[in-house]
Structure 1
């Protein structure tokens, strides 16, 4: 597993040398833009629209755009000095909290933390303390020129760091248009909806969920690679005979009951055979 950051965890006077690894990976299928005529990958060049010149890396400076369209230019040396003032290569735990106090909207990205040389004992101590207290560490860390808020918790016997959005990065839900303030809910509809939820409630098993689009896309690419003709069976048009909310809920429950009955019948036949 690639090490993307080295530093330490600090809480109180305890210092734990660690290595950080990405806990997730992007599985999206990526494409290159090709010239239709010759299938050559297209290059994207930086060009100044005023000077009409190609711009190299050494010709670029950082600029912060103001509300009136002007720019405040920041020198690379100024940014490096500012970064040095807040970056000490440490995950500093500033508080310990219960994780259920954090709404999931705050979570951003996940990273595995493994002990570096000489850090195994202190690493195991922090891990056990978090498990025993059923708490997580709230920390700050500098990643890619941005100070991140993060939580440290135990996942599968490994310390996991999850970066958090700051409160001012969360958009106000009240700004979402057309959200009803208060709607009168018919009790019969509510009871039926709750029944449907109960029927569809199941233990979370992430392995059974797959990206169907990505699988089909990769199958299409593989078929083209092997020179096969790709055909798709036509699906029958859906019959739209559900006219209101109550009918939709009841239809869903009836459909789910049939599935459950078939599963029980199949299981019973297997048990008696």
Structure 2
């Protein structure tokens, strides 16, 4: 399993060397875009809006747009220095809270925590402490230059760190349009709805839920492959017109020069008696 972060996590005076691994993966089927006429893949280029020229990676700088078309340019060195100043590889658990106190809207991404070579005993201690207390730990961590709020909890027999949004990253419900005000609900309708909920209530089993669209899409793809309904694109890219024209011009010039060049005559050497 790929390690995405390496450091340590601590609570009180207990320090645990750990590695972070992505706990989930996106299984969306990625579809490429092809040109309808020749079925060649479509590529995207970074083009400057000002001079309309393609820009190389080394010619790009980052900036913050503080007003329409007004930017503050941030140099790569400045961003790197700021990152190093705030990138502490030791993550401290700040508080312990109950899981049910955190609304699911705050949760973002899950990571498995594994102990480094010397962290097994401390890892087990934190795991059992969380199990016995029924609490989860709240901590801060910097991942990919972004400070994250996170919680540490037990999942099956493994510690899991889940990044969560800061409060100002969760939008206000007051901004959601067309929310109906409180209205009197007909009791008969409510009773019927509650009866339906009771009939559909069951223990949660994640294995029973599948991505039906992804399954159907893969079946369609396999059917097309089996019926040889596929297209192939050559890896060889044709030379741009200007290069082709240049080669033709050079060859024509060479041919023309060869025709004009006079044949070399051998000089006769006078014989001496």
Name the residue aligned to 2:69. Answer: 69
What secondary structure sits across from 1:79 in the alignment? helix
Query: Matched residues in 1 for 2:88 and 2:60: separation?
Result: 28
Name the residue aligned to 1:222. Answer: 222
Name the residue aligned to 2:127. Answer: 127
Name the residue aligned to 2:91. Answer: 91
* Deviation digits for residues 18-62 of structure 1 (CA, Å, limit 9, x no counterpart): 111100000100111112222221221111122222211110111
Q: Can you give the 5+ residue segments of structure 1 that lack an aligned partner in the other structure? A: 230-273
* Deviation digits for residues 190-237 of structure 1 (CA, Å, limit 9, x no counterpart): 1111111001101101101111110000000000000179xxxxxxxx
Name the residue aligned to 2:205. Answer: 205
User: What TM-score do you get using the length of structure 1 for normalisation?
Assistant: 0.81
What secondary structure sits across from 2:129 in the alignment? helix
Q: Does 1:169 align with 2:169?
A: yes
Structure with higher Rg: it is 2
Name the residue aligned to 1:196. Answer: 196
Any runs of at least 4 consecutive aligned residues in structure 1 with deviations exceeding 6 A, and if so which?
none
Name the residue aligned to 2:178. Answer: 178
Q: Which moved more, 1:98-107 or 1:65-74?
A: 65-74
Alignment CA distance shift 1:184-1:170 (3 Å): same
Name the residue aligned to 1:157. Answer: 157
Query: Matched residues in 2 for 1:41 and 1:100: separation?
Result: 48
* Deviation digits for residues 70-124 of structure 1 (CA, Å, limit 9, x no counterpart): 0000111111111112111122211111111100100000000000110000000
Cα RMSD of the aligned pairs, angstroms, is 1.2
Query: Matched residues in 1 for 2:157 and 2:174: separation?
Result: 40
Q: Does 1:26 align with 2:60?
A: no
- Give, in angstroms, the shift of residue 11 of structure 1: 1.7
Aligned length: 229
Q: Does 1:3 align with 2:38?
A: no
Query: Matched residues in 2 for 1:217 and 1:55: separation?
Result: 37
Query: Matched residues in 1 for 2:54 and 2:95: separation?
Result: 50
Query: Matched residues in 2 for 1:14 and 1:57: separation?
Result: 44
Query: Matched residues in 2 for 1:149 and 1:17: separation?
Result: 19
Query: Matched residues in 1 for 2:213 and 2:221: separation?
Result: 12
Name the residue aligned to 1:261. Answer: none
Alignment CA distance shift 1:195-1:39 (3 Å): same
Query: Matched residues in 2 for 1:33 and 1:48: separation?
Result: 23
